[in-house]
Amino acid sequence: MSLSITPLSEIMAAEATGVDLRQPLDDQTIKSLKTALAKYAVLCIRDQSLDPEEYVAAASLFGAPVPQVNRHTRFSAYPEIGILSNDATDFHGTGERVVNGATWHTDHSFTERPPMGTILYALVIPEKGGETSFCDMRAAYDALGDDMKQQVDGLRAVHAYESRRSPRKMLTRTDAEKAETANVTHPLVRVHPPTGERALYMSTTRLDHIADIDLAEGDALVDELFAHATQDKFVYHHEWRVGDMLIWDNRCTMHHANGNYPRDQKRLMQRIMIEGEAPI
């Protein structure tokens, strides 16, 4: 079989079939995968069977994998791989089930150079539910009125590991982890490097406040933009299959996990993040 790229919705996302990431790929196939990611923002490469070494190698087609920030969820032999499992329970002592990433966010915006992309590889999925939802922040920006675009262009936002606006508490960190995650400031509207398009850049768990404007005014603006960007017309829900290797572009999307499946059903993913650049 040869590589085939097929859109998964009218909003965003595509699937790639006919490629085995365990095998060497020619330059044109790699270019086609990268082009599809830039266009569709979410790319699902179907039907893969990867051991950890092969997974790191496959991820490296899209850029340099970076070590996972949360040390306690790293794969022991491969610090680039994080384990996302619904076996986890609340680290704050409630014993409640943890659904990682259950609120709209873009990964690691609290860092100076947030990851360009995030990759999830599906090992075990529930019989039904457990989708991952994505919204297209390029389309959301394009749909803003001219007055709103003029208002948000040029604004900067402060991002923190755990923002004061976060709807959920973050995992407890060691002193070493805290030292790695000082607050940073990023543009509220960033340029998507592969396409030159502009995109809102936001995260419910990380965006703390808009810099240099009244706090209440900034909060109202952020609330309005979140409500706008997460409308159904900008959202795609990915229904997982075992063997999916799904990569998305953090520079022009937000995403969240869905916990809409029975607690006794297993969901196990491996995660890799790809090195990015400072937002502009």
Q: What is the dihedral of CA 74, 75, 78, 80, to 10 degrees?
A: -40
Annotated catalytic residue 105: yes
* 271 classed as catalytic: yes
User: From first to last of its 280 residues, what are the pLDDT tens digits of the chain?
Assistant: 699 999 999 999 999 999 999 999 999 999 999 999 999 999 999 999 999 999 999 999 999 999 988 777 888 899 999 998 887 544 445 555 566 678 999 999 999 999 999 999 999 999 999 999 999 999 999 999 999 999 999 999 999 988 888 776 665 556 666 666 779 999 999 999 999 999 999 999 999 999 999 999 999 999 999 999 999 999 999 999 999 999 999 999 999 999 889 888 999 999 999 999 999 9
Question: Is 107 assigned a catalytic role?
Answer: yes
CATH class of 4-274: alpha beta
Provide the whole-model pTM. Answer: 0.91
What backbone phi and psi angles, to 5 degrees, belong to 33?
-65, -45
CA distance 21 to 41: 20
Q: Please tell me which residue in 107, 136, 208, 249 is annotated as part of the active site.
A: 107
Which among 105, 108, 209, 256 is annotated as catalytic? 105
Domain ranges of the chain: 4-274
- Residue 38, C-beta contacts closer than 8 angstroms, at least 6 positions apart: 192, 194, 195, 249
Q: Check 138, 255, 256, 267 and give the catalytic one.
A: 255
Distance CA 65, CA 122 (A): 18
Question: Hey, how many other C-beta atoms are within 10 angstroms of the C-beta on 100?
Answer: 18
What the block records as the tokens of 222 is 């952020």
173 is catalytic: no
Residues 6+ apart with CB under 8 A from 164: 208, 209
Question: Which three-class secondary structure state does DSSP give residue 134?
Answer: strand
Q: H or E segment at 159?
A: strand 156-159
Q: Which of 233, 217, 57, 211 is nearest to 143 (CA)?
A: 233
